[in-house]
Amino acid sequence: MQTAPDIQELNQRIQYTSKFVDRLRNELAKVIIGQQYMVDRLLIGLLSNGHVLLEGVPGLAKTLTIKSLAQAVDGKFSRIQFTPDLLPADVIGTMIYNQSKNEFVVRRGPIFANFILADEINRAPAKVQSALLEAMQEKQVTISEHTYKLEEPFLVLATQNPLEQEGTYPLPEAQVDRFMLKVIVGYPDKKEEQLIIRQQVQGFVLPTVSKVVTTKEIIESRDLVRQVYMDEKIEQYIIDIVFATRYPDQYGLAKMKNMISYGGSPRASINLALAAKAYAFMNKRGYVIPDDIKAIAKDVLRHRIGLTYEAEAENVTTEILIDDILRTIQVP
């Protein structure tokens, strides 16, 4: 159990170490107008070693933001454009015959990088999605009988378009659950959009994104994020929220029982705790408060709650259910 002096010392360390977060935000602001919510969620994924799925209509700078973040970190970046004819070998690599050596050698695929942009991930069939599963969960890739460890940090940042359904393949639940956060990307406000128009009409040239943080700093910060203090009452708060998605009637939410087909798994609890610690780190705090949990609850839970036909018929979304749960569960 950490004591008050320990937390004070941790606060000081975090205030010093987390300076690179501001550098990253400022660097991305050179290229991205607005979208601070999306940028912060990508940074949470980066700091807590969790993959992020961005969902939004085309033209909201999802791809540009991910690409710019990868450029701001001194690491390897790969972009994979998912299409219906994509094969697993196009993602992880394959064995090819080397005529001069008279043997088969491994040709590594684009998955061997620190940042993977899986663009329009729901356009590829299930066999390609399954090729990603081992990489996302185990941080390794198996080609033929050989297994290769992926270099840290390893982060899959995926985008998908919620509108167009023709030629798309819904992601398997097992894979969706591997994403720590599912972020709904919204439209810019009027002032931001006015600035976007001016830049584009005037032939604005995107500035070069400089490398402002090293992969070593990221890995060291991840260790510090895990040390952020979380009180037992906060842990219980997380457990109550996740259990309310499984057994709503036990928490005075009986009306939800027919709305939820399945609730969050233990992975939801783990990711809620880790994301809250990363959120506290980004706010230069060495301890988690209930507001941290509330701030990231929707991003962690929205893709982990299954809706029944009854909920869909009544236009009930997972966001509405999460709001009801957060209003009902007693805050410590």
Instruction: Report d(CA 317, CA 307) in Å as an integer.
Output: 8
State pLDDT tens for residues 57-67: 888 888 888 88
Residue 150 has pLDDT above 60, yes or no: yes
Helix (H, G, I), strand (E, B) or coil at 113: coil
Domain 228-328 has CATH 3.40.50.300: no
Beta-sheet pairing, 213-214 with 73-74: parallel
Ordered by start, the domain boundaries in the chain are 4-196, 228-328
Instruction: Report d(CA 321, CA 317) in Å as an integer.
Output: 7
* Phi, psi (rounded to 5 degrees) for 50: -125, 140
Same fold, 4-196 and 228-328: no
Residue 205 has pLDDT above 80, yes or no: no
Strand partners, 118: 80, 158
* Mean pLDDT of the region 82-105: 83
Place of tokens 């393949």: 169
Distance between first and last Cα of the chain: 18
Which helix (H) or strand (E) covers residue 160, if one does?
strand 155-160
Does residue 153 have a cis peptide bond before it, meaning omega lies within 30 degrees of 0?
Answer: yes
CB 33 within 8 Å of CB 195: yes
Mean pLDDT of the chain: 87
Supply the CATH classification number for the domain 4-196: 3.40.50.300
State pLDDT tens for residues 15-59: 888 888 899 999 888 888 888 899 999 999 999 999 999 888 888
